[in-house]
Structure 1
């Protein structure tokens, strides 16, 4: 298997196994203690195990492997548990993100707040169904965050190893929340600058999705500052490229692939780099019609599929789509150059290069 072990060859399946075991052991006691809370536990379990690319655990694992972690040694299962715990932070972020964005669907299913509002309405409970759904989603997201810490702390690793990686863990949790707030704040201020869009991409996606998972894994293996620095540089470029690809998919992607209606980023008022470049290029190229189309679409919850088609064409016509594609290509090239010079233990370089391709490939 070219230097790979069973863990390496089927990492998502091992992540799934560890998550399922933890969710069962964490959920069973509170279900017995308070059965009314059972549906909330079930909802989180279903959400975590119901899909996802497992990118964050995968980056963490290969950060550990690249820094010399031994997948045949006694620490492998503990490292896997730490890596898998990232999926609980992701669950918290997505559940709360859907709530803040008023999204109706995720992965082709109702979002958590929508599902619990329906549960309230179906049972004829007192008060507002929408408020009940919002409250339930906040609490279920909080439960995911609390359990992420429990999962991390309970990993079968030496205390010194967990302590060495904790700064990366703590930085990641703070950065993703800062990125979420910056996203909300930017929507509120209406800042459509490319600078604002890239600040959000760096904090909300690059740091949280790639940089800190790599940092976390490398720290678990005792990596030095030089290697951590190389991984952070690599991860910063990959993370932004990944977000830019996601921005394009949010407007042009197939809902059966993305799991969300096409154009939702526009309806939700996301100030993405795609939008920022669309507005800037329209102004620079004296295209007032396209500028008006793009500007009016951002935050317009009533956009129809036909309206989205018009916005798509405007973004193409002013060159914004081509500009984002070029930025993705540049960032990918820079990331791969950094990766090749990092001196990682093999086969980490090849596997991380594969992850770059998966995270940034065009799928529309």
Structure 2
């Protein structure tokens, strides 16, 4: 089913077995929520519709990791895996929507995000820019909250055994707690109130993204498949390494990436003064006086970004971070060789790390 409407749910009937996919679970989730519009009013409907739009268009990396591990470890309930995969995707949507509020972004994946949609609507109705932006921020916060509770709700009401649901809730809780800490550290570091080393910045990046994007889906897939505690713990370490590499390369994309490909402006991180690992390395080089003039400049233009790019290249900061990411991926692969897993898992894992490595190409 591709429709997000209530009528689409009724027409399709109950889903069984292979008919249940991550997208179908999300379709049904949003349709059920939007069906309450008569009780809660038009603002409620617009909020949910905008949140549903925010959940669309991604590559579904996190659910793919979860279902991949689940399959490799012998899991057979595809409907259950799809449900928990959808919960992980909702968690990702929540963090993305909140992150856009924190970064004052109004565009995501090449289109207006939740905040941008509500701000644009307010302006069309006659609000000035400040009030429109306030409404957009409020909508983003509330939409992210709805996605957070929705993720936990999908887990709590899934068909997994009670003990498995309990373990999954603990994993989701841990991901939320660590990510919240990482996000706040990210903003605090950008204030530049005290010296912060590269190790601290990398740890922040791991907390902000690696835990929920890689550790959580890998461990959740293993828990669903009934894996032993040692395997679940091993996947935590592997996920942290791969996720950190992913974030390191994502930070490079934040400055060097093509906006049409990434769907996000290269101006954002620099204007916000984000102290990424890329910038932490650059601060230790002779290029920093040139770069620092642009970092935190709210009026930064694309011409300024070009100057930063050139300085980062000449300072060796880009190549240093790319090499650092490659080291994390290599460590993850070595760790993968140290535990006995079903035949085929190694090949699947190699494909995952190659996909992450391609971001540096």
TM-score past 0.5 threshold: yes
Question: Could you tell me which of 92, 97, 102 is aligned with 1:100?
Answer: 102
Please say if residues 171 and 216 of structure 2, whose CA atoms lie closer than 8 Å, have aligned partners that are also in contact.
Answer: yes
Counterpart position of 2:239 = 235
2:143 corresponds to 1:140: yes
CA distance in 2 between partners of 1:187 and 1:174 (Å):
21
Please say if residues 65 and 348 of structure 1, whose CA atoms lie closer than 8 Å, have aligned partners that are also in contact.
Answer: no
2:279 corresponds to 1:275: yes
Question: Could you tell me which of 17, 22, 29 is aligned with 2:24?
Answer: 17
CA distance in 2 between partners of 1:262 and 1:131 (Å):
24
Counterpart position of 2:8 = none
Please say if residues 66 and 349 of structure 1, whose CA atoms lie closer than 8 Å, have aligned partners that are also in contact.
Answer: no
Counterpart position of 2:301 = 304
Aligned to 2:283, the other structure's residue is in SS state: helix
Counterpart position of 2:84 = 82
Q: Deviations over 1:24-68 (max 9, x none)?
A: 123312x1212311111100111112x112111122222323433
2:303 corresponds to 1:316: no
CA distance in 2 between partners of 1:210 and 1:233 (Å):
10
User: Offset of 1:161 from its aligned partner?
Assistant: 2.1
CA distance in 2 between partners of 1:125 and 1:34 (Å):
23
Moved over 4 A (4+): none
CA distance in 2 between partners of 1:291 and 1:163 (Å):
49
CA distance in 2 between partners of 1:357 and 1:303 (Å):
34
Q: Provide TM-score, normalisation by structure 2.
A: 0.88
Aligned to 1:297, the other structure's residue is in SS state: coil
Q: What runs of 5+ residues in structure 1 fail to find an aligned partner? A: 1-10
2:230 corresponds to 1:226: yes
Question: Could you tell me which of 257, 270, 279 is aligned with 2:261?
Answer: 257
RMSD: 2.0
Question: Could you tell me which of 62, 69, 78 is aligned with 2:68?
Answer: 62
CA distance in 2 between partners of 1:188 and 1:79 (Å):
41
Aligned to 2:23, the other structure's residue is in SS state: helix
User: Offset of 1:277 from its aligned partner?
Assistant: 0.6
Counterpart position of 2:41 = 35
Q: What runs of 5+ residues in structure 2 fail to find an aligned partner? A: 1-17
Please say if residues 86 and 148 of structure 1, whose CA atoms lie closer than 8 Å, have aligned partners that are also in contact.
Answer: yes
Question: Could you tell me which of 156, 159, 183 is aligned with 1:156?
Answer: 159
User: Offset of 1:268 from its aligned partner?
Assistant: 1.7
Please say if residues 83 and 154 of structure 2, whose CA atoms lie closer than 8 Å, have aligned partners that are also in contact.
Answer: yes
Q: Deviations over 1:310-360 (max 9, x none)?
A: 111111111111111111111111111222333233433322321222123
Deviates more, 1:105-114 or 1:161-170: 161-170
2:184 corresponds to 1:178: no
Counterpart position of 2:12 = none
User: Offset of 1:125 from its aligned partner?
Assistant: 5.6
CA distance in 1 between partners of 2:173 and 2:72 (Å):
22
Higher relative contact order (CA 8 A, sep 6+): 1
Q: Provide TM-score, normalisation by structure 1.
A: 0.88
CA distance in 1 between partners of 2:175 and 2:359 (Å):
27
Residue-pair matches, total: 340
Please say if residues 156 and 169 of structure 2, whose CA atoms lie closer than 8 Å, have aligned partners that are also in contact.
Answer: no
CA distance in 1 between partners of 2:201 and 2:275 (Å):
6
CA distance in 2 between partners of 1:89 and 1:52 (Å):
13
User: Offset of 1:249 from its aligned partner?
Assistant: 0.8
CA distance in 1 between partners of 2:175 and 2:221 (Å):
13
Aligned to 1:362, the other structure's residue is in SS state: helix
Q: Deviations over 1:265-287 (max 9, x none)?
A: 1112111111111111x1xxxx2
Aligned to 2:340, the other structure's residue is in SS state: coil
